[in-house]
Amino acid sequence: MSYTLDEMMTVAASRQLKDGAVCFVGIGLPSAACVLASRTHAPNLVLIYESGTVETAPEVLPLSIGDGELAATATSVVPLPEIFSHYLQGGRIDVGFLGAAQIDRFGNLNSTVIGPYEAPKTRLPGAGGAPEIATHAKEILIVMRMSKRGFVDSLAFRTSSGHLAGNGERKTKAYPGHGPQALVTDFGILRPDAETDELVLTELFEGVSAADAVAACGWPLKVADNPGRVAPPTETELETLRALNARTKTAHAAKVTLSLN
């Protein structure tokens, strides 16, 4: 079966999720990856959204972080301050999903601004829960398409901490979580070097060369000796993902009407 790069990225991200893990999910591709995982290899994955929905099992992907579908299928819905204090800061989250406009080689992220903060060239949405997720989740999974603008030598603004300046700085500063453990791109997967914490290309998608990835990256990308190959999506993965996306598309286009009293 042929497949798109988006589908490959989603499948690759979903495979990073272990069955039974407690996962803090974001909207977009992370939601697709998590729901796909829970419907394939990880049926006991626990999905938590920052809107306070705990252990959700959405039939269709949410457009926003607080769609009714998430509440309707949750085991419980808790106040948002509890999600941040009891669940995240309390150390109950195994995996946090993040993305951003910019990333550096140590997995630090910018989702705030391009240009000076006071007079921005491009004002981005801002932090949301990312700084707390990046700090407290036991590990971080990042999904981003690789580009010179996005994968930069030096961030315009640091919104969330990855491995800081590397070489164990995160550990020295006694961060509760271990930081980014995998970065899924449209070329393959990067993982932190055990010593320096620098993100290194360790696995490639089919039909992609390491040289392609190096050329697309804004920092001098390091490549592991003999990088592995990510297996293409299986038929089950593709069928599950496509059915999910089709249901979602229909749901998001549905006409809403109100019966007023």
Partner 1 sequence: MALMSLSEAIRLHVKDGMSVALEGFTHLIPFAAGHEIIRQGIRGLHLIRMTPDLIYDQMIGAGVADRLTFSWGGNPGVGSLHRLRDAVENGWPVKLEIFEHSHGEMAAAYTAGAARLPFAVMKGHSDNDLAAHQSGRTTKMDCPFTGASVTAVRAVNPDVTILHAQKADRAGNVLIEGIVGAVKEAAFAAGKVIATVEQVVDDLGAEKNAVILPHFLVSAVACVPGGAYPSYAMGHYDRDNSFYIAWDDIARDREGFTDWIAAHVTGVADHRAFLEKLGVVA
Classify the phi-psi angles of 137: left when phi > 0, otherwise alpha if psi is within -120 to 50, otherwise beta.
beta
Facing residues of 58 across strands?
none
Among 57, 77, 214, 223, binds partner 1 (CB under 8 A): 77
Stretch that binds partner 1, among 9-17, 33-41, 78-86, 138-146 (CB under 8 A): 78-86
Report which of 166, 136, 147, 133 is spatially closest to residue 103, judged by C-alpha positions.
Answer: 147
Stretch that binds partner 1, among 11-19, 47-55, 141-149, 207-215 (CB under 8 A): 47-55
Neighbours of 83 (CB within 10 A): 24
Closest approach of Cβ 140 to partner 1, in Å? 14
Among 44, 149, 172, 173, binds partner 1 (CB under 8 A): 173
Q: Please confirm, yes or no, whether 50 is among the known catalytic residues.
A: yes
* CA dihedral (233, 252, 97, 198) positive or negative: positive
Should residue 89 be labelled a site residue for partner 1 when binding is judged by CB under 8 A?
yes
**Alpha-carbon span 53 to 67, nearest angstrom:** 10
**Alpha-carbon span 44 to 112, nearest angstrom:** 34
Should residue 215 be labelled a site residue for partner 1 when binding is judged by CB under 8 A?
no
Under the rule (CB under 8 A), what is the footprint of partner 1? Answer: 27-28, 50-53, 62-68, 70-72, 77, 79-81, 83-85, 88-89, 112, 117, 120-132, 134-136, 157-161, 164, 173-176, 251-261
Give the catalytic positions in this structure: 50
